[in-house]
Homo-oligomer: A and B are copies of this chain.
Amino acid sequence: MALADLQDSTRNDDGIATAISILKQRFGEQLQTSQALREQHAHTTTYIPAQLPDAVVFARSTEEVQSVVRVCAEHKVPIIPFGTGTSLEGGVNAPAGGICIDLQQMDKVLAINTEDLDVTLQPGVTREALNVELRDKGMFFPIDPGANASLGGMAATRASGTNAVRYGTMRDNVINLTVVMPDGSVVKTANRARKSSAGYDLTRLMVGSEGTLGIITEMTLKLYGIPENISAGVCQFPSVDAACNTTIAAMQIGLPMARIELLDTLMVQAVNNYSKLGFAEAPMLMLEFHGTDAGVAEQTAMFNEIASEFGGSEITWVSSVEERNRLWKARHDAYPSMLAFRPGAQGIATDACVPISRLAECMAETVEDVERLGLVAPIVGHVGDGNFHVSPLVMMDDADEVARAEEMIERLNLRTIAMDGTCTGEHGIGQGKRRFLKLEHGTGVDVMAAIKRGIDPDNIMNPGKVVSL
Contact = CB atoms under 8 A, between A and B. Distances in A.
Interface of A: 113-118, 157-160, 164, 168-169, 171-172, 181, 185-202, 204-205, 207-209, 213, 224-225, 248, 251-254, 292, 294-295, 298, 351, 353-357, 385-387, 417, 420-429, 433, 436-437, 440-448, 450-455, 466-467
Q: Which residue of A171, A209, A423, A437 has the most chain B CB atoms within 10 A of its CB atom?
A: A171
Nearest to A181: B447
A196 B181 CA distance: 24
Contacts of A467: 199-200
Nearest to A430: B197
A128 to B, nearest CB: 21
Contacts of A455: 447, 450-451, 454
A201 B199 contact: no
Contacts of A164: 195
Nearest to A201: B204
Nearest to A157: B197
A440 B254 contact: no
A455 B448 CA distance: 9
Contact of A199 (B115, B356, B417, B448): B448
A185 B429 contact: no
A230 to B, nearest CB: 14
B454 A193 contact: no
Nearest to A438: B199
Contacts of A454: 450-451, 453-455
A316 B202 CA distance: 42
A196 B422 contact: yes
Contacts of A115: 248, 252, 355-357
Given A158-B197, A194-B386, A200-B213, 8 more contacts: A115-B356, A117-B251, A187-B443, A193-B420, A198-B424, A199-B466, A200-B205, A200-B448
Contact of A422 (B191, B295, B427): B191
A251 to B, nearest CB: 8
A145 to B, nearest CB: 11
A446 B183 CA distance: 11
Contacts of A386: 193-194
B193 A201 contact: no
A453 B448 CA distance: 13
Q: Which residue of A116, A189, A199, A207 has the most chain B CB atoms within 10 A of its CB atom?
A: A199
Contacts of A172: 168, 172
Top 9 nearest A-B pairs (CB, nearest first) are A454-B454, A204-B204, A115-B357, A196-B422, A192-B420, A450-B454, A193-B421, A193-B353, A116-B355
A445 B208 contact: no
Nearest to A200: B448
A424 B194 contact: no
Given A196-B425, A437-B198, A454-B455, A443 B208 contact: no
